[in-house]
A and B are shown apart, each in its own frame.
Chain A
Amino acid sequence: MAEQASLESPVWNRPLPDDPELAAQVREIREKHLLQDARPPREVAEKVLGPMARLGRVFWLALIVLGGLTATWLATWAYQAYQGMGVTGLNRTIMWAPYIVNFVYFIGIGHAGTFISAALRVLKFEWRAPISRAAESLTVFALLVAFTMPLIHMGRVWKFYWMLPFPNQRQLWPNPRSPIFWDMTAIFTYLTCSMLFMYLGILPDIAIAREKASGWRKRLYTVLALGWRGTDREWKHLDTTLNIFSYGIIPVMFSVHTVVSWDFAMTLQPGWNSSIFGPYFVVGALYSGVGAVIIIMAILRKALHLEYFLREEHFNAMGKFLLILSFTWVYFYFNDYLLPWYHKEPILTVIFRLFTSGWAAPLWFTMLIANILIPWATLWSRKVRSSIPALVGVALLVQVGMYIERYLIVAVTLGYPELPFDWAVYVPRLPEILITLGVFAFVVLGITVLSRLVPIIPIWEVVEGQLLQGTRRIGRAIFPAKTEAD
């Protein structure tokens, strides 16, 4: 009978079963699962668009602070470009460090977004619906930042275009053998795909916003909506395109961080030239990425009052996700260190000793605690996973841990080349620190601003999901279930 009812009456006012016990079950299901807890589309839209338009004092404060930091970043960059790379703490042995660490880290962050929305879309995990866009926006801004890093790192940034293939009278081209060239290609592709993927997803929501908004927002949305009318044909196209993207973007994503890892794995530097770096970096990236998404989710939920959309179930799922990735990452990490520890390749042994008992030990152990001990100790418990503050805490720790891990790989390992005469230690100086702070600020700033410009929760996906959700009764129990769409 329930099915019948669902087909006649709209999902948002399906009657509760008369049997109070069953009714209780249904209520429980509805409050637990967003997609079960259907509301009229208008209301759903309002829940998203309402807070979006209300710019409170906190928002402006954040805008000023983050904007300030971003400005500092650009100013410091200008100073560094004018003075020379010497203003950084780099030296004749460690020629890469701060910016490449950030580069790797942000590429990593950039992974999660697309992974969550594309992969989970492919796998038809409906619960991802409210998360996906926040994740994608994270991807886009992280990638933007990551892309500037190699430029900031260059000695003569004003010649950066020599790294791009363009016809010139010198008859010179970039070197296809250089991992940097692969990097550029991979990241460009990934960035473009991610942006398009995100933009396509936003289209219908912008159209909705266009209907609701007024003033400059109206004008803005009218342009951005590209005249979306929501005809069946448009929907059909959108669906197919998004599917194509979802399938296409996953291999790209894997390739990107593998290529990034090749920047190191392809060198002769002991501790870098390891064949496991590809998958190891990819997993590391996802690990830190998912963590970052959790943090962003929490922030948005608080800032935009999205309690209705982002529920315990989502954080719980992300928590599990984080735990699994933690396991995988540990597997690769110890693969990478078990071997040197066993075969005692001299330089690697020195580095290993440095991590375990040398000056780098505090960093190394902090990383182990943040990346392994805490997640493993906590994430198995549903209580932690579903308590947002706890989960965010863990996610933050994971960020710290993963940043340190990249730092150890790039800035510390590089200090130990083959000839002991050249060993060195890298100590950051103010410019790197300012720039690093600045880029972090920029990512947050970007998302903050974006979340106020476009619906950060994909309204149409949520509604669509809710339409397709129903309940099925088996005996005395009621379970959430997909209704056969006809």
Chain B
Amino acid sequence: MTEKISRRDFLRLGAAGAATGVLAGCTSPRRWVVLEPFVRPPEQQVSGVATWFATTCRQCPAGCGVIVRLMNGRAVKLEGNPEHPLNRGKLCARGQAGLQMLYHPDRLSGPLLQSTRGSREFSAIDWNEGINRLFQALAKAGPAVAMLGGATMSDHLFDLFSKLLAAVDAPPPVIYDLYTELGGYRTLAQAMGQVYGRAALPAYRLAEADVVFSFGAEFLGTWTSAVRYGVEYGAFRSQPYGKRGLLVHFEPRQSSTAVTADDYVAIAPGSEGLVAGALLRLIADGNLGLAGRAESARGLAPSLDVEQAARECGIPLEALQRLARRFADAEHAVAIPGGALAGSSNGMHAARAIEALNVVSGNAPAGVNTTPPDLGLARKSLNTFADVQSLIARMRAGEVQMLLIHSTNPAYELPEAAGFLEALAQVPLVVSFGAMVDETAVWSDLILPDRSYLESFGYEVVSPDFGSPVVSSQQPVVTPVFDARTTGDVLLTVARGIPAAAAAMPWDDEVDYLNQMVAGLPEAAYPASTAEEKRARFQQHGGWWPAPAVAAPTLRPQPFTVTAERATFDGNETDYPYFLHVYPSVLLSDGRGASLPLLQGVPDPMTTIAWQSWVELHPATAERLEIRDGDLLRVTSPHGEIVAAAYVTPGIRPDTVAIPAGQGHQDLGRFARDRGSNVVQLLGAALTDEGGGLRWNGVRVALARTGKRIATASLESKVGVTEGLGYE
């Protein structure tokens, strides 16, 4: 109860503190301000002096460490945790915007009940009833319970969910969301497994690299651990003795990574693997590069006709040869397989081919060929789209009595063809743990809002870790703003009623659970003698990590073969003349960022457009179809159609159109609702050849003018930046 009260004091005091003042800055001053001091002040609270707490960022699965600046008990700023070995004090745009996850006006306060799904008519119930309903349903459903989770879910929560499901003999949780799919997490991990023997996300060290070939890897914007790659890139650009690495980027569209690259090659969509194969071939046949490279290349290079490959990829052969030589000659050459390739039918082949380049250059990514120490901590394992499909099948077959959904938004993120919503209709009870009403919550019966990540405990075993294992700790930094409850505690409460679960989950609350988990951690970089101190330091430093080890990853590749597979695309060339290039927005990522005004209102780096979604076209395309900026286009694929505004840009291939993911929400709060369109609706539910990934990068589309037009909310002057001063 102190919590609740002291929270209100926080606000009041904050509102009254001489330094604050909403809109009071320059308007005539309010003469009488009420000062409400704390009833019981929290420890080391000094009014007007900032206190900092370390926790984990949950805006994407990377698990960066952040520190939160608190003034009078209100979180006012997020910064990267300078101690944290992953992001080293840095943070990306999405991380910076995290505070609005905490203070979002549309967050739910207390559990909600929806009588008829999709009606959006919720009735508030109190927590006891909510938890009770969950318990009843769980007891009734028995093993016919399923759980669908997202990659940003805390690992401890995953563990609790798994334990609960295991206790009722239900299949383990399915962890899947669009973000990891667009990042190709699962596919790449599998490829690494085939190449190096350990299926984990690769982490490429760029700091000392001479040459970096990035195959559609948007590693400076959204791919896996973008912040860490930013740090790496910074070092890469200013190496000792004025050395400055060479970055070559292969992608059909100019992403911000392509912009920063020294050499950008606009390759045909889905031809990343082909490029890599051709490079291998050239190195092998041309006997290029340092000693031994050609030999190992010969062992791996696929059999292909280089001229033809070059033609298919859209690179002049000379350029390809030049690049092959550069790569082969470089002492420290790195090839990065991006998320984009994982979405195309030949994803695994491409990943292997690209990884083969690393094998040739003798630079294995960190974290895939060294088995990390067992930390005794549970950690999420991502599932493939195939697993989701089987879940959907079970739902459709009525084998699922109750579906739990946490930190993922399938109703928005899954293509219509996956048939999730139809299957959902077969599930008697759907429970959503979303903090806000998102598209999925609209189709659920019971909402038990979880706290935002700045209000709750947890930990994240960082993946990809760059060499040495890292566990980021998560702790509440403010007293909860809304009457939400941590799902961990909810589950533990429910578990008490189920004997098997009670046995498997003996903790009285999640803090207790975490403490016991943390107690088992090996020695950390910081000193900690007693178990208590260990826990305290774990929270204080923002996680656990061993003293920096200098053991460079040793290369132990498994035998594997590289094949030159062509990517296949839905839709024939005549009806659907353009390739569709889908990419996660730098700001909105896969759409979870769309709820935050900070991310909506900040202009996208490439188009400077805010608040809207768009279709990127090549000027030639625009000329052919007589399209101007802002024309609303009907984009049709074999699987669906959306309407989006055109944005003409030279930064894309003439045969390709690009649409960012992230907009087109029907729900997810006032800032996301009804803006732009959701590109996922254009995708099919087909799988990739190998690895069971969603083939989201294998669709062709047609464009048609609707005749309508909207004003583009862009910051740039199109005339200015395109025609400029008009020197010819």
A residues near B (Cβ < 8 Å) are: 93, 156, 346-347, 349-350, 353, 419-424
Give the size category of B's interface with A: 10 to 19
Q: Which residue of A lies closest to B26 (CB)?
A: A156
Shortest CB-to-CB span from A2 to chain B, Å, is 73
| Contact for B720 among A349, A353, A420, CB less than 8 A | A420
Please give the distance in Å from A237's CB to the nearest CB on chain B.
49
Across the interface, do B717 and A347 meet the contact criterion of CB distance under 8 Å? no
Q: Is the CB of B717 within 8 A of A424?
A: yes
Which of B26, B716, B721, B725 interacts with A350 by CB under 8 Å?
A: B725
Shortest CB distance B603–A (Å): 11
Chain B residues within an 8 Å CB radius of A346: 725, 727
Secondary structure call for the A interface = helix
Check A423 against B719 for contact (C-beta < 8 Å).
yes
Residues of B close to A93: CB separation below 8 A:
717
Q: How far is the CA of A420 from the CA of B727 in the complex (A)?
A: 13
A420 touches B717 (CB 8 A): yes
Contact of B29 with A by CB under 8 A = no
Give CA–CA (A262, B716) in the complex, Å.
30
Contact B725 A421 (CB under 8 A): no
- Per CB-CB distance, the 4 closest pairs between chain A and chain B, nearest first, are A420-B720, A423-B717, A423-B720, A346-B725
Measured in the bound complex, the distance between the Cα atoms of B725 and A423 in whole Å is 11
Q: Does B559 contact A (CB under 8 A)?
A: no
Out of A349, A419, A421, A422, name the residue touching B726 (CB < 8 Å): A349
A420-B26 in contact (CB<8A): no
Contact A422 B720 (CB under 8 A): yes
Task: Name 23 interchain pairs, CB-CB below 8 A, sorted by A.
Answer: A93-B717, A156-B26, A346-B727, A349-B725, A349-B726, A350-B725, A350-B726, A353-B726, A419-B720, A420-B717, A420-B719, A420-B721, A420-B724, A420-B725, A421-B716, A421-B717, A421-B720, A421-B721, A422-B720, A423-B717, A423-B719, A423-B720, A424-B717
Interchain Cβ contacts within 8 Å, total number: 27
Q: Which residues of B contact A (CB under 8 A)?
A: 26, 716-717, 719-721, 724-727
Instruction: Across the interface, name the chain B residue whose C-beta is closest to A359.
Output: B719
- List, in ascending order, chain B residues with CB within 8 A of A422's CB: 717, 720
- Asked whether, in the complex, the Cβ of A347 is within 8 Å of the Cβ of B725, the reply is yes
B250 to chain A, nearest CB (A): 28
Whose C-beta in chain A lies nearest to the C-beta of B719? A423
CB distance from A170 to the nearest CB of B (A): 14
CA–CA, A200 and B724, complex, Å: 57
For the complex formed, measure the closest distance between the CB of A190 and the CB atoms of chain B, giving whole angstroms. Answer: 32
B173 vs chain A, min Cβ distance (A) = 48
Report the minimum CB–CB distance from A111 to chain B (whole Å): 36
> B residues within 8 A CB of A156?
26
Assembled-state Cα–Cα distance A93/B717 (Å): 10
A422-B714 Cα distance, complex, nearest whole Å: 11
CB contacts (< 8 Å) of B717 on chain A: these are 93, 420-424
Distance in angstroms between the alpha carbons of A421 and B724 in the assembled complex: 8
Contacts of B26 in A (CB 8 A): 156
In angstroms, how far is the closest chain B Cβ from the Cβ of A350?
A: 6
B624 to chain A, nearest CB (A): 25
If A349-B726, A421-B716 are given as contacts, then 7 extra A-B residue pairs at C-beta distance below 8 Å, sorted by A number, are A156-B26, A347-B725, A350-B725, A353-B726, A419-B720, A420-B725, A423-B717
CB contacts (< 8 Å) of A349 on chain B: these are 725-726
CA distance A419 to B719 in the complex (A): 12
**Given the complex of chains A and B, what is the CA–CA distance between A424 and B720 in angstroms?**
9
- A-chain residues with CB within 8 Å of residue B719 when the two chains form the complex: 420, 423
- The listed residue with most A CB atoms (<10 A of its CB), out of B720, B721, B726, B727, is B720
Q: Which residues of A contact B716 (CB under 8 A)?
A: 421
Chain A contacts for B726, CB-based, 8 A: 349-350, 353
CA distance A422 to B719 in the complex (A): 10
Q: In the complex, which residue of chain A has the Cβ closest to the Cβ of B727? A: A346
The smallest beta-carbon distance between A63 and chain B, in angstroms, is 38
| Bound-state Cα–Cα, A350 to B726, Å | 7
Query: Using Cβ atoms and an 8 Å threshold, which residues of chain A touch B720?
Result: 419-423
Chain B: minimal CB distance from A92 (Å) = 9
A419 — which chain B residues lie within 8 A by C-beta? 720
User: Whose C-beta in chain B lies nearest to the C-beta of A344?
Assistant: B727
Which chain B residues lie closer than 8 Å to A421 at the CB level? Answer: 716-717, 720-721
Specify the chain A residue showing the minimal Cβ separation from B28.
A158
- CA–CA, A48 and B726, complex, Å: 62
A156: nearest chain-B partner, CB-CB: B26
CB of B416, distance to nearest CB on chain A (Å): 39
- Find the A residue at minimum CB distance from B717: A423
Nearest Cβ in chain B — how far from A89, in angstroms? Answer: 13
A347 vs B724: C-alpha distance when bound (angstroms)? 9
User: Which residues of chain A are near B725, meaning CB under 8 Å?
Assistant: 346-347, 349-350, 420
Chain B residues contacting A423 (CB-CB under 8 Å) are 717, 719-720
Q: Which residues of B sit under 8 angstroms from A347, Cβ to Cβ? A: 725
With the chains together, A353 CA to B716 CA distance in Å? 21
A346→B725 CA distance, assembly (Å): 6
For A353, list chain B residues within 8 Å (CB): 726
Q: Nearest chain-B residue to A346 (Cβ)?
A: B725
Q: Shortest distance in angstroms between B27's beta carbon and chain A's nearest beta carbon?
A: 9
Complex Cα–Cα for A419 and B715 (A): 13
| A418 closest partner in B (C-beta) | B725
Name the CB-closest residue of B to A422: B717
Q: How far, in angstroms, from A349 to B725 measured CA to CA in the complex?
A: 8
**B720 to A, closest residue via Cβ:** A420
Q: Closest CB of chain B to A156's CB: distance in Å?
A: 7
CA gap between A285 and B346 in the complex, in Å: 73
- Return B711 CB to nearest CB of chain A, in Å: 11
Q: Report Cα–Cα, A419/B727, bound state, in Å.
A: 14
B630 to chain A, nearest CB (A): 15
> How many angstroms from the CA of A300 to the CA of B293 in the assembled complex?
98
B259 to chain A, nearest CB (A): 15
Query: Least Cβ distance of A354 to chain B in Å?
Result: 10
| Complex contacts, B724 vs chain A, CB 8 Å | 420
A87 to chain B, nearest CB (A): 17
Residues in chain A near residue B727, CB distance under 8 A: 346
Residue ID in chain A nearest B715 by CB atoms: A421
Bound-complex Cα distance A93 to B26 (A)? 23
Distance in Å: Cβ of A154 to nearest Cβ of chain B: 13
Question: What CA separation (Å) do A419 and B725 show in the bound complex?
Answer: 9
- Bound CA span A36–B719, Å: 64
Nearest neighbor of A415 in chain B, beta-carbon distance = B717
Cα(A423)–Cα(B715), bound, Å: 10
A422 to B717, CA, bound (A): 6
Residue in B closest to A93 when the chains form the complex, CB atoms: B717
Complex alpha-carbon distance, A304 and B724, angstroms = 57
Nearest chain B CB to A262 CB, angstrom units: 27
Q: In the docked arrangement, what's the CA distance between A84 and B727, Å? A: 40
| Least Cβ–Cβ distance between B342 and chain A, in angstroms | 35
Q: State A350–B717 Cα separation when bound (angstroms).
A: 14
- Bound together, the chains give a CA A349 to CA B726 distance in angstroms of 9
How far apart are the CA atoms of A93 and B716 in the complex, in Å?
A: 11
Residues of B within 8 A of A420 (CB): 717, 719-721, 724-725
Most A CB contacts (10 A, CB to CB) among B716, B717, B724, B725 go to B717
CA distance A419 to B724 in the complex (A): 9
A350 to B727, CA, bound (A): 10
Q: A312 CA to B727 CA in the complex, in Å?
A: 55
How many Å lie between the Cα of A422 and that of B716 in the bound state? 6
Instruction: Please give the distance in Å from B43's CB to the nearest CB on chain A.
Output: 42
Cα–Cα, bound, A349→B724 (Å): 11
A423 to B723, CA, bound (A): 11
- Shortest A128–chain B CB gap in Å is 50
Q: In the complex, which residue of chain A has the Cβ closest to the Cβ of B724? A: A420
CB distance from B73 to the nearest CB of A (A): 33
Shortest Cβ distance from B315 into chain A, in angstroms?
Answer: 32
Q: With both chains docked as a complex, state the minimum distance between the C-beta of B697 and any C-beta of chain A, in angstroms.
A: 32
In the complex, A347→B719 CA distance in Å?
13
> Cα distance A421–B718 when bound, in Å?
8
CB distance from A84 to the nearest CB of B (A): 12
A178 to B720, alpha carbons, bound, how many Å? 30
Q: Which residue on B lies nearest to A353, using beta carbons?
A: B726
Distance (Å) between the CB of B469 and the closest chain A CB?
45
Q: How far is the CA of A422 from the CA of B721 in the complex (A)?
A: 9
